Amino acid sequence: MKKEDIIIYGCVIVGVGIGIMFDNAFPGALIGLGIGYLLKTFLISDEKK
């Protein structure tokens, strides 16, 4: 498993946790997935420079 994948999975898990508090886990997972991809993009682009 790569570091980029761990970032995405972590954000999805946090998003699901927050979504469960509001009785909607699926939208929380989607928001976490989007945030994870954004973080991955910013972190990986900085490392390659």
Distance CA 39, CA 7 (A): 8
Q: 36 with 43: CB under 8 angstroms? A: no
What's the number of domains the chain is made of? 1
For the residues 22-26, what does the mean pLDDT come to?
91
The pTM (predicted TM-score) of the whole model is 0.82
pLDDT at 45 over 80: no
Which pLDDT band holds residue 2 (cuts at 50, 70, 90)?
Answer: confident
Structural domain harbouring 33: 3-47
Three-class SS state of 2: coil
Compute the mean pLDDT over every residue in the chain, rounded to the nearest whole number.
88
Give the pLDDT confidence score for residue 47 in this predicted structure: 63
